[in-house]
Structure 1
Amino acid sequence: MKTLNILSGGAAQGLVGSLASAFKADTGFDIAGEFGAVGAMADKLRAGVPTDVVIFTAVLVGRLADEGLVLQSSIADIGRVETALAVRAGDPPMSVKDAADLRKVLLAADAIYVPDTKASTAGIHVAKVLADLGIATEVADRLKVFANGATAMQHLATSDARRPLGCTQSTEIISTEGVVLSGVLPPECGLATMYAAALATHASATPQAQRLIALLTSPDASEFRSRAGFVADRT
C-alpha cells in the first residue's frame, strides 16, 4: 500500500481527513501518520520518524526550517485556528463576552477538559489564561488534561460531570462527535494561531507530499478549511 507519512498538530486532523479521499483519487496514496500536540509531534520529527509532510503552527514550522528539518521554500500557510470553548452535545451553550464572563464560566465548571498544558498550543494558552484570570490554583483539581485536544474532547463527550466544559482549538471541537463548539474565547483572552504545512527535508514521496500541501492550501479547498474550523488570514 502506498502511503504518505505526515506528522501534524491535532488542529489539522479534521481537515486532512476531509481531503483524504480526494488525495487518494489524485495520487493513489493513502495518508498515514500521527496527530497530536505540536511539541510532541515536532520531537518525533527530530527523532527521525519517517515523515513526508508536517502541519504545525507557522512559528514552529519556521523553527524546524531553521533546524534543517523542513524545506523553507515549501512552507505554505493553511489558515488560522482559534481557541474556543466546548460543551457536551445537549448541554446549554455558554455565553462568554469578556474575561469576566470567562472567569465565571470556568469557576462554575466541575470538570475542565484541556490538551497538554506544556506541549500543545491550546493547552499552553489555557494555562496562561487561567493564571491571568487568577484562578489557576482554584480550578487545578478540576482540570482533566490529555495528550491532545481531540482526546480531551472525546472524554468531554462522555463525561459524567454535572457541568463540564472543554477548551481547545476550534478545529478539534468541530471534528469530535458528542461535543459542540460554544464560541471562541473573548478577545482579551483569545488566541488565533496560524498553521502551515511543509515538506520534510528527508521526504521519500516528494511529488505526493507537494500535492498534499497544494491541496490543503488551494482556493478549491477553502470550503473544507472553513468547515474544519480554519479561518482565512486577515492580514
Structure 2
Amino acid sequence: MTAVNILSGGAAQGLVRGLAAAFKAQTGFEIDGEFGAVGIMADKLRNGAAADLIILTRALVTRLADEKLVASSSIADIGVVETALAVRASDAKVAARTEADLRDVLRDADAIYVPDTKASTAGMHVAKVLDQLGIAYEVAPRLKVFPNGATAMRELSTSNAKRPIGCTQATEIIATPGLALSGALPPGYDLKTMYTAGVTTRAVNPAQASTLIDLLVGADQRELRLRAGFAG
C-alpha cells in the first residue's frame, strides 16, 4: 500500500478520515499514521518517527519548524477547535455558561473522562480549569484519564456511571458515536486552539503531503471542516 504517513493531534482525526476517499481519488495514495496527544506526536517526530505530514497546534508546528523538522513554506492553518463538554447521547445535555455552572457540572458528575493531562491540549487545559475552580482535589477520584481524547470519548460512550461527563476537543466529541456535544466552556475557562499542518523535512512523499494539506484547508472543504468541529 502506498500511503502518506501522518502524525496528528486527535482533534483532526475525523476531518482526515472524511478526506481519505477524495485524497485517494486524487493521488492514488492512502492515509496512514497516528493520532494522539499533540505533545506525544511532536516527540515522536523529534525521535525519528517516519512522517510526511504533521497536524498539531500552531505553536507546536512553529516550534518544530524552528527545529528544522517541518518545512516552514508548507505550513498552513486548518482551523480553530474549541475544548468542550460531552455527554452520552442518551443523557440530558448540561450547560456551563458561567464559572458557577461549570463548577456544579463537574461536581455533579460521578465520572469525568479526559485525555492525557500532561501531553494533550485539552487534557492540560482541563487540569488548569480544575485548579482555577478550586476543585482539583475534590474531583480527582472521579477523573478518568486516557492517552488521548478519542480514547477518552469512546470510554465515555460506553460508561456505566450514572452521571458521566467528558471534556476534550469538540472535533473528538463529534467524531465519537454515542456522544453529544454539550457546549463550550464558559468565558474565562474556554480554550480555542488553532490546528496547523506542515510537511516534514524528512518526508518521503512531500508532493502528496502537500496535496493533502491543500484538501485540508481548501475552500471547497469548508462545510466538511465545520461538520467536523473546526471553525475559521
Rounded to whole Å, the distance in 2 between the matches of 1:99 and 1:21 is: 43
Rounded to whole Å, the distance in 1 between the matches of 2:157 and 2:95 is: 20
Aligned residue number for residue 128 of structure 1: 128
Residue 42 of structure 1: CA displacement? 0.7
Aligned residue number for residue 92 of structure 1: 92
Q: What's the Cα RMSD here? A: 0.4
* Deviation by residue 1:158-201 (Cα, 9 ceiling, x = unmatched): 00001000000000000001111000111210000000000000
* Deviation by residue 1:129-177 (Cα, 9 ceiling, x = unmatched): 0000000000000000000000000000000001000000000000001
Determine whether 1:51 maps to 2:51: yes
Identical positions, percent: 66
Rounded to whole Å, the distance in 1 between the matches of 2:39 and 2:188 is: 25
Rounded to whole Å, the distance in 2 between the matches of 1:155 and 1:120 is: 17
Determine whether 1:221 maps to 2:217: no
Structure 2 unaligned spans of 5+ = none
Aligned residue number for residue 37 of structure 1: 37
Residue 89 of structure 1: CA displacement? 1.1
Rounded to whole Å, the distance in 2 between the matches of 1:131 and 1:147 is: 21
Ranges of 4+ aligned residues in structure 1 off by more than 6 Å? none
Residue 76 of structure 1: CA displacement? 0.1
Rounded to whole Å, the distance in 2 between the matches of 1:144 and 1:96 is: 20
Aligned residue number for residue 5 of structure 1: 5
Letter of the aligned partner of 1:180 in structure 2?
A
3-state SS, counterpart of residue 54 of structure 1: strand
Residue 206 of structure 1: CA displacement? 1.0
TM-score, with length taken from structure 1 = 0.98
TM-score, with length taken from structure 2 = 0.99
Residue 52 of structure 1: CA displacement? 0.3
Rounded to whole Å, the distance in 2 between the matches of 1:106 and 1:217 is: 35
Rounded to whole Å, the distance in 1 between the matches of 2:160 and 2:21 is: 36
After TM superposition, the structure 1 stretch with the greater mean CA deviation from structure 2, 124-133 or 41-50, is 41-50
Aligned residue number for residue 194 of structure 2: 194
Aligned residue number for residue 160 of structure 1: 160
* Deviation by residue 1:105-126 (Cα, 9 ceiling, x = unmatched): 0000000000000000000000
3-state SS, counterpart of residue 63 of structure 1: helix
Rounded to whole Å, the distance in 2 between the matches of 1:112 and 1:121 is: 16
Structure 1 unaligned spans of 5+ = none
Residue 92 of structure 1: CA displacement? 0.2
Residue 26 of structure 1: CA displacement? 0.2
Rounded to whole Å, the distance in 2 between the matches of 1:207 and 1:157 is: 38
Matches within 5 A, 1:50-69: 50-69=50-69
Rounded to whole Å, the distance in 2 between the matches of 1:23 and 1:187 is: 38
Matches within 5 A, 1:110-125: 110-125=110-125
3-state SS, counterpart of residue 227 of structure 2: helix
